């Protein structure tokens, strides 16, 4: 398959062009009239709803002056403010340039959007997962710096968590959430067998734009969960014994766009995840390839 990364790289456009592309697919670019951005949380921003055995110590470890590489427990690391401003802007630019394509048989491409059922040839599009747009493609379809950033984050995570397994990303899944959107409880279950023996290759997940509350727990049936606030520039990594956590984006929090991103992305939250999916991935399957989920409630899965 032709590397779309190359073509797409060439198509990275300034905001004005992005705006006109967005209009062409029937979406609105956020107006620049938001309240002042909420500054990054300082100090403890892992909020433990429950106090699991590892919770208290980790919450303390977060208190002011921490390096920003936080081991939450074996197999879960949060890298606070790890992606610098230029990197966040660049990632957003590429993702929106790629994501402005509509997914589906009608267009033969993938992106955050799909044609509305009611479309009568007017090109009316909506986010393909309701309040969230999802785009999946092979890592090699993106500029090589995507994979390099992923590996850099993984190495940083391994510095603080020696149980974190290695991985080489081959699949990028990008979510674009509207403000207030959520993503229901689910597991990313590409290879449960490997997870059982503690070899779960990590998922590396970047947050850009609006903040969110990310929840996780070990079992669907648990009534308690932990909540991690993820802000723009944070990276959340889960692998090894934590690879099969049940997790959810509980809520994307409106009005938390950092000032430096306002003119660089549409109002919402961009989440870029990297995975190594085991086995041979037939590139000709793209864009039809889908990561499989165990979804408890398929409402917004
Ligand atoms: O948006 C996020 O932080 C998580 C996304 C997610 O869980 C997924 O795509 O499987
Ligand atoms: Fe997930």
Check the annotation: does 119 bind a ligand. Answer: no
| 293-295 and 235-238 beta bridge pairing | unpaired
247 assigned binding-site residue: yes
Contact yes or no for 129/300 (Cβ under 8 A): yes
**77 in Cβ contact with 164 (< 8 Å):** yes
124: its two tokens: 């009316």
Q: Is the CB of 271 under 6 A from ligand 1?
A: yes
- Give the total residue count for the chain: 301
Interatomic CA distance for residues 87 and 91, integer angstroms: 6
CB-ligand 1 contact for 273 (6 Å cutoff): yes
Domain ranges of the chain: 59-275
Task: Flag the least confident range among 47-51, 104-108, 184-188.
Answer: 47-51
Q: Can you name the CATH fold of 59-275? A: Jelly Rolls (2.60.120)
Q: How many CB atoms lie within 10 A of CB 191?
A: 19
Tell me how far apart the 2 most distant CA atoms of the chain are, in Å: 57
Confidence category of residue 19, pLDDT binned at 50, 70, 90: very low
What is the full DSSP assignment across 76-103? EEEETT-S-HHHHHHHHHHHHHHHTSBP
The pTM for the full model equals 0.76
Tell me: pLDDT of 9 over 50. no
Higher-confidence position of 295 and 30? 295
Sign of CA dihedral 4, 5, 6, 7: positive
- Beta carbon of 238 within 6 Å of any ligand 1 atom: no
pLDDT > 70 fraction of the chain, expressed in percent and rounded: 61
Report the distance separating Cα 73 and Cα 218, nearest Å. 12
Is residue 188 marked as binding? yes
Q: How far is ligand 2, taken at its centre, from the CA of residue 215, in Å?
A: 11
Which has more pLDDT, 241 or 3?
A: 241
Q: Show the tokens assigned to 284.
A: 């000709």
**Residue 146 clears pLDDT 90, i.e. is over it:** yes
Distance of CA 102 to the CA centre of its chain: 19
């Amino acid at each position: 398959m032709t590397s779309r990364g190359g073509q797409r790289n060439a198509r990275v456009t300034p905001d004005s062009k992005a705006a006109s592309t967005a209009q062409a697919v029937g979406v609105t670019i956020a107006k620049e009239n938001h309240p002042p951005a909420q500054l990054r949380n300082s100090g403890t921003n892992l909020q433990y709803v429950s106090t699991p055995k590892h919770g208290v110590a980790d919450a303390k470890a977060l208190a002011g002056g921490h390096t920003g590489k936080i081991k939450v427990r074996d197999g879960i690391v949060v890298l606070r403010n790890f992606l610098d401003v230029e990197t966040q802007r660049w990632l957003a630019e590429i993702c929106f340039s790629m994501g402005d394509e509509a997914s589906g048989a009608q267009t033969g491409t993938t992106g955050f959007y799909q044609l509305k059922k009611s479309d009568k040839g007017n090109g009316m599009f909506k986010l393909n997962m309701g309040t969230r747009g999802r785009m999946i493609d092979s890592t090699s379809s993106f500029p090589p710096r995507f994979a390099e950033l992923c590996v850099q984050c993984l190495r940083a995570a391994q510095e603080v968590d020696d149980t974190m397994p290695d991985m080489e990303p081959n699949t990028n899944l990008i979510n674009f959430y509207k403000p207030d959107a959520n993503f229901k409880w689910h597991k990313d279950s590409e290879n449960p067998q490997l997870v059982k023996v503690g070899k779960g290759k990590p998922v590396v997940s970047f947050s850009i734009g609006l903040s969110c509350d990310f929840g996780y727990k070990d079992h669907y049936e648990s009534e308690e969960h932990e909540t991690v606030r993820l802000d723009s520039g944070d990276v959340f990594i889960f692998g090894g014994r934590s690879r099969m956590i049940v997790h959810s984006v509980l809520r994307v929090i409106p009005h938390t766009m950092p000032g430096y991103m306002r003119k660089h992305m549409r109002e919402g939250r961009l989440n870029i995840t990297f995975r190594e999916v085991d086995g041979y991935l037939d590139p000709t399957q793209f864009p039809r390839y889908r990561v499989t989920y165990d979804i408890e409630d398929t409402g917004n899965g």
